[in-house]
């Protein structure tokens, strides 16, 4: 094999401009090497940041810090961003292999994992990922969402379940300080919701929340958190986890403190010293869903089997069935990756088959020049920061393989631009994102000061939703 970077920069394409893709690009530019690299970062959205822009609740305060870090990387000017370019439609694997020495797939996981119980197809049964896409203003989903239920069940004990439940239970005007689009505010403002229930299969010591996300629940105005003493069960494994795992200890302490506060709150209400909140957010543990019940094709309830801890931190069924009246059910039991054209796919795990980020073929052999990182590499587990470790491993293996990479036939940086222009692809650039970002901030400023029940607020920004509008603003 020839050395593709012997007399020119090593050309690398990264498909996906979310955290995984940006981290990979950043690590590659900073890696110790004796040759230059030239990186193009592609994304199907007109804007960068992927999951951060379209997969995380807008009221997360720490997200701003992550956006600033990603912005800093892309704003350096040594990584080219090409947005509104969809792999498999606008450009093919053959196109990429013709113009780049290596490609890294960082496409993440955006679909909902399935939950195989009766009633999943009833009207009012939703995937959390679809709802998140709606409230985050994803350009390719409908602008309307059916928010007609007074009582809602959210199945899952991870951060996405908390996000969904918090957004559903929060008063819409309290989200105006975020970047939510106007159509999302209007939809949430009209919601008649009074009770949102979060259900987890295991006990309080085994939840998959993180402390910050859990504590955020208590910050919602006019929303009472409701817990159930019978759900607070701990076995030997739970006790050991609480003793040895600081996160588990923090989580259990937070939950048990809320239980004590709840008793005080109920006493005050009985004495007429406190008015109950208009909305309630219920946390249930040791519940496994067995059926979504309905009438006339619509959700009218959900049935669970009560669980008990078995001494190892796992659970077993008790045979006791409990029913809750709800008119909507959201499953937040995990994300699942999507198959990419001309790339292998593991339909069981929802990932690209790989060895340390090296993409494998059907025979388990490395497809030279193809790599993966992030959730499409390891599955949708862990926090955003964990993708840095993924990227470090993948980039390390790419650099180790450098001398065996199939050299690009047309490595000139202009080649991909000429191809996109020839095909009439309305691609966006980093400069275009800067323009769109500034436009969204101006929209927030134009909204002026808004008086709400929590006081006067100003909108920091308002997200542009329509794809064509995003492209138009980016290309001005």
CATH number at residue 185: 3.50.50.60
Q: Is residue 39 part of a domain?
A: yes
Say if residue 80 is in the same domain as residue 223: no
| Residue range 149-203, pLDDT digits in tens | 999 999 998 889 999 999 999 999 999 988 899 999 999 999 999 999 999 999 9
Say if residue 373 is in the same domain as residue 232: no
The CATH number for 392's domain is 3.40.50.720
Which of 335, 363, 378 is the last residue before a domain boundary? 335
DSSP-derived 3-state class of residue 446 = helix
Q: Is residue 123 part of a domain?
A: yes
Say if residue 168 is in the same domain as residue 306: yes
Which of 293, 312, 335 is the last residue before a domain boundary? 335
Q: Is residue 437 part of a domain?
A: no
| CA 124/CA 342 separation, integer angstroms | 36
Say if residue 27 is in the same domain as residue 141: no
The token duo for 205 is: 């010591």
| CA 312/CA 324 separation, integer angstroms | 29
Question: Percent of the chain, pLDDT > 90?
Answer: 78
For the segment 102-109, the average pLDDT, to the nearest whole number, is 94
Say if residue 80 is in the same domain as residue 120: no
Q: Is residue 26 part of a domain?
A: yes
- Tell me which residue range forms the domain holding 134: 111-335
| Residue range 69-90, pLDDT digits in tens | 999 999 999 999 999 999 999 9
Say if residue 125 is in the same domain as residue 259: yes
- β-pairing, 10-15 vs 102-105, is parallel
Per the structure, the count of domains in the chain is: 2
| Residue range 19-74, pLDDT digits in tens | 999 999 999 999 878 889 999 999 999 999 998 899 888 887 677 778 899 999 99
| pTM summary value | 0.91
Say if residue 301 is in the same domain as residue 236: yes
The token duo for 424 is: 């009439």
Say if residue 147 is in the same domain as residue 164: yes
Q: Is residue 224 part of a domain?
A: yes
| CA 337/CA 174 separation, integer angstroms | 33
pLDDT at 1 over 50: no
Say if residue 37 is in the same domain as residue 166: no
Say if residue 390 is in the same domain as residue 242: no
Task: Find, among 56, 115, 150, 108, the residue nearest to 331 by Cα.
Answer: 115
Q: Which residues share a beta bridge with 266? A: none
The token duo for 347 is: 């339909």
Say if residue 198 is in the same domain as residue 325: yes
Q: Give the pLDDT band of residue 3 (cuts 50, 70, 90).
A: low
Say if residue 132 is in the same domain as residue 274: yes
């Amino acid at each position: 094999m020839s050395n593709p970077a012997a007399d020119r920069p090593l050309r690398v394409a990264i498909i996906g401009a979310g955290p995984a893709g940006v981290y990979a690009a950043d690590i590659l530019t900073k890696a110790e090497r004796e040759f230059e690299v030239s990186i193009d970062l592609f994304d199907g959205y007109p804007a960068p940041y992927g999951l951060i822009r379209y997969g995380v609740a807008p009221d997360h305060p720490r997200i701003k810090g992550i956006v600033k870090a990603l912005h800093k990387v892309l704003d350096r000017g040594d990584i080219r961003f090409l947005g509104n370019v969809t792999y498999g439609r606008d450009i093919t694997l053959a196109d990429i292999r013709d113009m780049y020495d290596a490609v890294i797939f960082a496409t993440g996981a955006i679909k909902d994992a399935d939950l195989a119980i009766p009633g999943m197809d009833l009207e009012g049964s939703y995937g959390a990922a679809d709802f998140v896409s709606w409230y985050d203003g994803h350009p390719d989903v409908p602008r309307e969402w059916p928010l007609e239920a007074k009582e809602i069940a959210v199945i899952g004990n991870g951060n996405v379940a908390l996000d969904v439940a918090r957004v559903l239970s929060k008063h819409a005007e309290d989200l105006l300080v975020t970047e939510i689009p106007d159509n999302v505010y209007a939809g949430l403002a009209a919601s008649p919701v009074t009770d949102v229930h979060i259900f987890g299969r295991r006990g309080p010591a085994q939840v998959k929340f993180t402390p910050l996300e859990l504590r955020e629940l208590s910050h919602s105005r006019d929303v009472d958190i409701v817990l159930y003493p019978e759900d607070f069960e701990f076995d030997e494994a739970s006790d050991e986890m609480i003793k040895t795992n600081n996160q588990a200890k923090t989580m259990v302490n937070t939950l048990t403190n809320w239980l004590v506060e709840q008793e005080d709150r109920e006493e005050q209400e009985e004495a007429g010293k406190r008015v109950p909140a208009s909305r309630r957010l219920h946390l249930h543990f040791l519940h496994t869903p067995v059926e979504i019940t309905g009438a006339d094709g619509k959700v009218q309830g959900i049935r669970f089997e009560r669980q008990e801890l078995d001494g190892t931190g796992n659970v077993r069924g008790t045979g006791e069935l409990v029913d809750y009246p709800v008119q909507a059910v959201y499953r937040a039991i995990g994300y699942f990756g999507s198959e990419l054209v001309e790339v292998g796919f593991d339909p069981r795990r929802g990932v690209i088959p790989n060895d340390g980020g090296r993409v494998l073929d059907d025979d388990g052999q490395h497809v030279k020049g193809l790599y993966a990182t992030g959730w499409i590499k390891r599955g949708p587990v862990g926090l955003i920061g964990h993708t840095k470790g993924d990227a470090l491993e993948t980039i390390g293996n790419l650099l180790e393989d450098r001398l065996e990479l199939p050299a690009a036939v047309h490595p000139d940086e202009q080649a991909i631009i000429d191809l996109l222009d020839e095909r009439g692809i309305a691609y966006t650039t980093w400069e275009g994102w800067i323009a769109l970002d500034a436009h969204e901030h101006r929209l927030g400023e134009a909204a002026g000061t808004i008086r709400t029940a929590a006081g006067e607020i100003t909108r920091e920004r308002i997200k542009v939703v329509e794809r064509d509008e995003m492209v138009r603003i980016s290309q001005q």
